[in-house]
Amino acid sequence: MSRVVALTGNQAAAEAMRQIRPEVCAAYPITPSTQVMETFAQFVADGIVDTELITVESEHSAMSACVGAAAAGGRAMTATSSQGLALMHEVLYVTSGLRLPVVMAVATRALSAPINIHGDHSDTMGSRDAGWIQLYAEDGQEVYDSLLQAVRIAEHPQVLLPVMVCFDGFTTSHTIERVQFLEDAEVQAFVGEYRPAHPLLDLKRPVTYGPLVLPDYFTEIKRQQREAMSQAPRVIQEVGKAFGDRFGRFYGLFEASHLDDAQVAILIMGSAAGTARGVVEGLRQEGVKAGLLKLRAFRPFPAEELAAALAHLQAVAVLDRADSPGSPGGPLFTDLRAALDGLQARPAVLNYVYGLGGRDILPEDIRRVYQRLLRVAAGEEGDTAVCEYLTLREDPIRLAPVGGA
């Protein structure tokens, strides 16, 4: 049957790719995702997988090669982080605009400047408008499981959008965890055959991909993409349920802990959700009605589902692992606020930015958030929407002598 292995998130991603057996993979190294393609390259060299591996000369070319391969009619995958994701930014829009079901693993990392190689969500947040589905994984198991599901989600006829599976740089990409792998045959049965509707290589029915579209048609093509994104939540849930039915691990748009009867909660994505879950368990034992919502699908943003899940709370803190300077708060915060906008009764919403550039977040930091939430819920504190940087060092206030230097 299946086997349990101790390995890093990057290695788990590579194993998923091996079992998916795409026709083409493109590889360009960048910390902290490099080991995904290194591991995969060894599989290729050992003849364990027969994928065509293209060792491209930049991430822009990595995604371009994936576009070519997917248009040709094959499955195409790659992995990247940070600057690499930023460099391929324009190509992301081409992938989604041409409705190509490429799947990519992203070990999230801060964007320069300052240059920093550690994990935060600024890179993937920077791509949130590119028309890609974004699934965030908490740990190695979720990386593996989500990549397998991503293929089915992307290729679904009512979706046909590329998918990126995002996991925290170093924390998830490099930490060794237990991951349960499926059998090769099980994975192949789950992902099935790729049947592209209009492959470039169908010489009998020549197709033109990527024409110039003028103002008279452009809006219509974009509307198609929005439609696909609005079908995506349903498809993500269907595939997550199918995965669970077959393999025992169920997935959806998000995962709630102790939320039903909670008064206050945190909304968070990625590995820090694990830390938060531990804090919630502790608070519950102290009788605090604390809850947690770990968001998995950031794009599409499941606005209705989140509003329904959070409406009964008195206060919720959104923890963003990226900021959007000049915007009312971080990206997760502003999307949630928009989602709650239609509710009659709604919780107060706080915003914290945490973990930038790989800054650790500790249980006591999260505990402080809950303590503030409780004060806000009790009316002891205003629910200021000012975005606060968790664990920020402030300089002590210096008092300048009057009339002196």
Partner 1 sequence: MSGDAKRGWRDLPLGALILDAGNAEGYSTGDWRTLRPVIDLQKCTHCMLCWFFCPDSSILVQERRVVGVDLEHCKGCGICAAVCPVKIRAISMVEEAEAVRAGGDRE
Partner 2 sequence: MLPQKAMGATTRSPSVKELSSRLDLLSGGHRLCAGCAESVVVRQVLLAAQYPVVVINATSCLEVATTIYPYTAWRVPWLHSLFENAAATASGVEAAYRALQRRGKVSGEKVAFIVFAGDGGTYDIGLQSLSGALERGHRFLYVCLNNEGYMNTGIQRSSATPLGAHTTTTPAGEVIPGKLQWRKDLTGIIAAHHIPYVAQAALTPQPLTDLTTKVRRALEADGPSFINVYAPCNRGWRFEPADTIKISQLAVETCYWPLFEVVDGQWRLTYTPKEKKPVAQWLEAQGRFRHLLKPGHRHVMEEIQKRVDGEWEALLARTGRAPSKKESAPPPSELPGAPEPAQAPKTDAAPRTASPPQAREAVRADRQEAPCSCGATSAGPRWGCLFCGRTCCSRCTYAPEGLAVCSRCALELFGIVQPPALSSA
CB 327 within 8 A of CB 334: yes
Shortest Å distance, C-beta 88 to partner 2: 10
**Is position 85 an interface residue for partner 2 (rule: CB under 8 A)?**
no
Shortest Å distance, C-beta 217 to partner 2: 5
**Is position 112 an interface residue for partner 2 (rule: CB under 8 A)?**
no
CB 135 within 8 A of CB 163: yes
10 Å CB burial of residue 97 (0-12, 13-18, 19+) is: middle
CB 355 within 8 A of CB 118: no
**Is position 256 an interface residue for partner 2 (rule: CB under 8 A)?**
no
Of 72 and 256, the one with the shorter C-beta distance to partner 2 is 72
Q: CB under 8 A: which stretch of 66-74, 234-242, 270-278, 349-357 binds partner 2?
A: 66-74
Instruction: Tell me the residue length of the chain.
Output: 405
CB 77 within 8 A of CB 66: yes
Q: CB under 8 A: which stretch of 19-27, 151-159, 179-187, 303-311 binds partner 2?
A: 19-27
Pattern 82-111, partner 1, x by CB under 8 A: ---------------xxxx-----------
CB hemisphere CA count around 397 (13 angstroms): 2
10 Å CB burial of residue 388 (0-12, 13-18, 19+) is: middle
What is the bridge-based pairing of β-strands 133-136 and 163-168? Answer: parallel
Report the alpha-carbon angle 164-158-54, nearest 5: 40
Pattern 215-244, partner 1, x by CB under 8 A: -xx-xxx-xx--x-----------------
Report the site for partner 2 in 330-369 (rule: CB under 8 A).
Answer: none
**Is position 160 an interface residue for partner 1 (rule: CB under 8 A)?**
yes
In angstroms, rounded to a whole number, what is the distance separating the alpha carbons of residues 389 and 393?
Answer: 9
Shortest Å distance, C-beta 211 to partner 1: 6
Of 30 and 310, the one with the shorter C-beta distance to partner 2 is 30
Using DSSP, state whether 7 is helix, strand or coil. strand
Shortest Å distance, C-beta 68 to partner 1: 15
Shortest Å distance, C-beta 130 to partner 1: 14
The sign of the torsion formed by the CA atoms of 256, 257, 262, 264 equals negative
Pattern 168-187, partner 2, x by CB under 8 A: --------------------
Of 145 and 155, the one with the shorter C-beta distance to partner 2 is 155
In angstroms, rounded to a whole number, what is the distance separating the alpha carbons of residues 296 and 224?
Answer: 24
Tokens of 382: 């205003």
**Is position 195 an interface residue for partner 1 (rule: CB under 8 A)?**
no
CB 36 within 8 A of CB 172: no
Residues lying near partner 2 in the complex (CB under 8 A) are found at 23-24, 26, 50-52, 54-58, 60-62, 64-74, 76, 90-91, 94, 98, 200-203, 206-214, 217
**Interface with partner 1 by CB under 8 A: which residues?**
97-100, 160, 198, 205-211, 213, 216-217, 219-221, 223-224, 227
